Amino acid sequence: MPRFDFDQDGVVVVVGSGAGGGTLATDLCRAGVRTVVLEAGGHHQPGEFIDDEWPSFNQLAWLDERTTSGSWRVAQDFPGLPAWTCKTVGGTTVHWAGCCPRFKDWELRIRSVHGPIDGASLLDWPITLADLEPYYDKAEDRMGVTRTNGVPPLPANNNFKVMGNGATRAGYQDVSTGRMAINSVARDGRPATIQDGFNFQGDRQRAHWSTLTAELPKAEATGNLDLRPQSHAFRIAHNGGGKVTGVHYFDADGNERVQKARAVCVACNAIETARLLLLSESPQHPDGLANSSGEVGRNYMRHLTGSVYAEFEQPVRMYRGETMAGIVTDEARNDPDRGFVGGYYMQLLALGVPFLAAFLDPGAWGPEFAAKMDAYERTAGMWLVGEDMPQASNRVTLNRDVTDQYGLPVPNVHFDDHENDVAMREHAYAAGESVYEAVDAVNTHRVTPYPSTHNLGTCRMSADPAEGVVDVFGRAHDVPNLFVSDGSVFTTGAAANPTLTIVALATRQAEHIVDEMKAGAL
């Protein structure tokens, strides 16, 4: 791999190597653009992954100090862990489960569809589904998404047989093993799944799409990639002319480095992306870089989430097979008569014994709790993922009272549910219970949201620079050579798991950056 000079200001610096950054960097490299990727985590290979939940968590999770506030239960149960994302090459694509629903047309313009909603900072996306569709097509192809491009579906596992039969008996129509970025057949140099589970622990066999295994190796093969693991960016340098000039970071030995850049693309996942821009404050940008709107860090979304687990008389063994290969889409529709706007999916979910114990009812103990764990082998599970309302007060800020291992202010994540979120979650819990009751569940358990895996909206895309941080291509309204390339740009969250859309947007952004470079505009 080449090592570009720190002073080589013709390179593009991408901060983060996950779904957004890893995809963007790969496309830039393939187009001939010299690209430096700064990744805070180490370069773990699939052979190093650990199929044991807590040791894997300690290997892959982003565990730098953070603080929380607000009325969400996560702030009480896991006050230092608002989000469960990864710190490793490949970012959170290393532990994602592979669900790939697309946004629906109306989900990109929910402000227009519903009008203003009290307490919500709703805004239409400045792009439409028609703008996205060609990039969804490309993303599904590169990721090998099942049920697209002739890729066969994944087979039904035990946990899906329970949810699928229940959903069908409960009257749901669109019930399947879903569109998954997991190889059902060998494809793109990666094998078909052997149904070995542990989707959240990295994928030892490489059947899942990740930027670690499916993108960055292709970028490296171009000779244009300079991937720097254990490189923690903490400040984006900028000049008096209003442009960014490079990125300050701490290398593996803790030395401060500065990589000069022609353009900088930030893709650190929504909490760290906002934090990096806020840390880059200066006299020209007193409230943080690219923050003349005041919107950096605001409108933080994390999806509805919640889970339902159910006990049965007979064994389920939910842990066998792909963790989330199952979906019911009927409730992902726009039907305010249900008492809320937006929709949600029911998706398959299995946890191993260690994590079910931790998350089933955080803090719970005693004979009743133990009895639930005794039913582990007879337990089925699903996740509820739906649109949550953006709120200006749900926000990532710098907590200047607490510093990290580098002496930098840690991010504080403040979150309160909107009443729409609460109404949707109640509906979703009841729907999940009805699914399991339709196949004679002995018991059902409503499970509170876990630390956030879908972190969105902290640098939202807007047509009007006063209302958001980036334009239709993810370019900062305030800074012409600064881009945001992850889920931070989501104007609203939709119900869909975000990775497919992040990849589609990164693909589109890469094309735009290359075009702008060719035109001499960047």
Partner 1 sequence: MSTQAPAALEPHLATTVAALARTLYPHDALGDQVYARVPAKIAEAVREDPAQARMVSEGVADLDGRGEKPFAERSADERLADAKAIAGSDFFELVRSTAVVEVYSDTATWRALGYEGPSFAKGGYLRRGFDDLDWLTDLPQEA
Interacting residues toward partner 1 by CB under 8 A:
51-54, 147, 153, 155-158, 160-162, 164-165, 168, 175-177, 193-198, 204-205, 314-317, 319-321, 352-354, 356-358, 363, 365-367, 369-370, 373-374, 376-377, 439
Minimum Å gap between C-beta 405 and partner 1 is 20
Minimum Å gap between C-beta 321 and partner 1 is 4
Q: With contact defined as beta carbons under 8 Å apart, do 409 and 65 qualify?
A: no
Q: Would you state the structure tokens that stand for residue 250, as one six-digit string?
A: 């701490």
Q: With contact defined as beta carbons under 8 Å apart, do 441 and 163 qualify?
A: no
Of the candidates 322, 381, 347, 314, the one whose C-alpha atom is nearest the C-alpha of residue 155 is 322
Minimum Å gap between C-beta 168 and partner 1 is 7
Minimum Å gap between C-beta 195 and partner 1 is 4
Of 116 and 367, which has the nearer Cβ to partner 1?
367
Of 164 and 457, which has the nearer Cβ to partner 1?
164
Establish how many alpha carbons lie within 13 A of residue 369's alpha carbon, considering only the half-sphere containing its beta carbon: 13
Among left, alpha and beta (phi > 0; psi -120 to 50; other), residue 115 is: left
Of 283 and 367, which has the nearer Cβ to partner 1?
367
How long a stretch of residues is the chain? 522
Strands (E), 389-491: 395-403, 409-414, 443-447, 482-484
Of 137 and 377, which has the nearer Cβ to partner 1?
377
Q: End-to-end distance of the chain based on CA atoms, in angstroms? A: 25
Q: What percent helix, strand, coil does the chain show, rounded to 5?
A: 30, 20, 50
Of 108 and 180, which has the nearer Cβ to partner 1?
180
The CA distance from 347 to 324, in Å, is 6
Minimum Å gap between C-beta 184 and partner 1 is 11
Minimum Å gap between C-beta 73 and partner 1 is 16
Minimum Å gap between C-beta 395 and partner 1 is 29
Of 51 and 426, which has the nearer Cβ to partner 1?
51
Minimum Å gap between C-beta 208 and partner 1 is 13
Q: Would you state the structure tokens that stand for residue 224, as one six-digit string?
A: 């244009």
Of 359 and 415, which has the nearer Cβ to partner 1?
359
Of 111 and 208, which has the nearer Cβ to partner 1?
208
Cβ neighbours of residue 466 closer than 8 Å, sequence gap 6 or more: 293
CA distances from 350 to 50, 211, 332, 354, 356 (A): 17, 24, 21, 12, 8
Q: With contact defined as beta carbons under 8 Å apart, do 473 and 24 qualify?
A: no
Q: Would you state the structure tokens that stand for residue 331, as one six-digit string?
A: 């409730």
Q: With contact defined as beta carbons under 8 Å apart, do 438 and 166 qualify?
A: yes
Q: Would you state the structure tokens that stand for residue 371, as one six-digit string?
A: 């009895």
Of 114 and 169, which has the nearer Cβ to partner 1?
169
Minimum Å gap between C-beta 348 and partner 1 is 12
Establish how many alpha carbons lie within 13 A of residue 45's alpha carbon, considering only the half-sphere containing its beta carbon: 2
CA triple 170-176-181, angle to 5 deg: 145
Minimum Å gap between C-beta 79 and partner 1 is 12
Of 185 and 466, which has the nearer Cβ to partner 1?
185
Cβ neighbours of residue 144 closer than 8 Å, sequence gap 6 or more: 151, 181, 182, 183, 187, 188, 190, 209
Q: Would you state the structure tokens that stand for residue 425, as one six-digit string?
A: 């979650």
Of 229 and 354, which has the nearer Cβ to partner 1?
354
DSSP β-bridge partners for residue 237: 246
The CA distance from 329 to 197, in Å, is 23
Minimum Å gap between C-beta 54 and partner 1 is 6
